[in-house]
Amino acid sequence: MSNRLKVTPNDLSAFWMPFTANRQFKQAPRMFVSAKDMHYTTSDGRKVLDGTAGLWCVNAGHCRPKITEAIQSQAAELDYAPAFQMGHPIVFELANRLVDIAPKGMDHVFFTNSGSESVETALKMAIAYHRVRGEGSRTRLIGRERGYHGVNFGGISVGGIVSNRKMFGTLLGGVDHLPHTHLPEKNAFSKGVPEHGAELANDLERLIALHDASTIAAVIVEPVAGSTGVILPPKGYLQKLREICTKHGILLIFDEVITGFGRLGAPFAADYFGVTPDIMTTAKGVSNGVIPMGAVFVKKEIHDAFMTGPEHMIEFFHGYTYSGNPIACAAALGTLDTYKEEGLLTRGEELAPYWEDALHSLKGEPHVIDIRNIGLIGAIELAPIAGSPTKRAFSAFVKAFERGALIRTTGDIIALSPPLIITKGQINELIDHVRDVLRSID
């Protein structure tokens, strides 16, 4: 990289940063200039341990050779091919490879460029699926409070994060929400999935009684909600959702954008929980976050329902210019090779008990009111500063960065999701950073 790009530019104003307090950031910028395996390097030359796999995406760690080489050679060979009415071999190869590791029955893959696009694709597929089968009245979508499904209009409509919704008008019509499953009064400091709250799934029956099943296309949930501060499904909850959806002919969509590709110690949360959805949205870990890519997995019955009518007709009027972009496909194949060679899709299972003990050793530290964990995900919930919610966790984030660890905060919750290559020593290091930070903040 040229030195020019390694120094901090002296005018930061042109770039309107996403999900960032722009004015605050630009007064004291935090810049990464390179990365390798478990570490970032900052513009002032410090190493920072990655406790969040970037944004829940760099599951194989940074700048992994197989992925870098795959991208480099693909860029020199076939840079782009039109995504509509044309193909190129590696997009088909990638789809086959993904189907090979997907839960049984999820036989088809539709490519997108992000989690948000995967969600929009899944919602549209669900509604269109019912229509092609002659059940066009099924158009309603059910999401969940505190759900995060990206930032496009469908995703924020089924999502349940007030700040992501309130500025943007009336959103999609015909959407309702299940209650969230965060029950700290009953489940605080649970290890793994909490005991209490499976009955919250029965609320779906209430919504069905209210709207009638014949108007409902799909239910979408994150098997484990990440972006709203790691909210776990109570024991039996996802199974109940599955049963109710099946009973009423409603499609179940799992948004596996963060849980996909090994985060829980199984390839997908569907495998971990033994519950297979009808549609599964993924992104992030599919290409190790290196090149934007998303993949929507679909059951054969859903795909096949579209494959009717005259053969010269397009079956699904949806797609993106960069769906299955060759360089993104190469990155994803390099990623899958790396996952396979290093056993990363199941490595979390072996590390999870160590991770759990390390995280829960923070119980009793200042401000900590709950700790939650599953696979290689952890959350440490802090008591908010009275009258200034989010401020305490944000100062923990800044302090951790200064000390040499990247953590992520949402509300007053610290969320951790390291690359799946993390060692036990690095888990200790990460948790020690958090402990020191908690002891040093007000």
Ligand X SMILES: Cc1ncc(COP(=O)(O)O)c(C=O)c1O
What is the sign of the dihedral through the CA atoms of 264, 268, 274 and 276? positive
Q: Contacts with ligand X in 310-369 (CB under 6 A)?
A: none
Asked if 120 interacts with ligand X (CB under 6 A), we say no
Stretch touching ligand X by CB under 6 A, among 108-116, 200-208, 246-254, 362-370: 108-116
Alpha carbon separation from 214 to 38, 144, 350, 400 (Å, rounded): 49, 20, 44, 51
* Closest C-alpha among 159, 148, 160, 140 to residue 248: 140
**Residue 108 C-alpha from the chain's centroid:** 20
Residue 148 binds to ligand X (criterion: CB under 6 A): yes
Which residue in the set 71, 119, 359, 421 belongs to the binding site for ligand X (CB under 6 A)?
119
Q: x/- binding map, residues 37-66, to ligand X, per CB under 6 A?
A: -------------------x----------
Which of 283, 333, 359, 382 forms a contact with ligand X (CB under 6 A)?
Answer: 283
Count of positions (residues) in the chain: 442
Binding residue (CB under 6 A) for ligand X from 58, 216, 238, 257: 257
Here the tokens at position 65 are 């050779």
By CB under 6 A, what part of segment 362-401 binds ligand X? none
Count Cα neighbours of 332 within 13 Å in the Cβ-side half-sphere. 29
Q: List the one residue from 126, 204, 251, 258 that touches ligand X (CB under 6 A).
A: 258
The residue whose Cβ lies closest to ligand X is: 115
Q: In the complex, what is the shortest distance from the CB of residue 248 to ligand X, in angstroms, rounded to a whole number?
A: 24
x/- contact string, 216-235, with ligand X (CB under 6 A)?
A: ------x---xx--------
181 makes contact with ligand X (CB under 6 A): no
Which parts of 81-114 fold into alpha helices (H)? 89-101
Which residue type does 247 have? K
Pick the piece of the chain touching ligand X (CB under 6 A) from 29-37, 60-68, 98-106, 253-261: 253-261
**423, 39 Cβ separation under 8 angstroms:** no
289 binds ligand X (CB under 6 A): no
DSSP 265: S
Q: For strands 251-255 and 216-221, give the pairing.
A: parallel
Q: Which of 422, 428, 430 is nearest to 62 (CA)?
A: 422
Report the residue number, 208 or 253, with the smaller CB distance to ligand X: 253
- Alpha carbon distance 215, 139 (integer Å): 6
Interface residues with ligand X (CB under 6 A)? 56, 114-116, 119, 148-150, 222, 226-227, 255, 257-258, 283
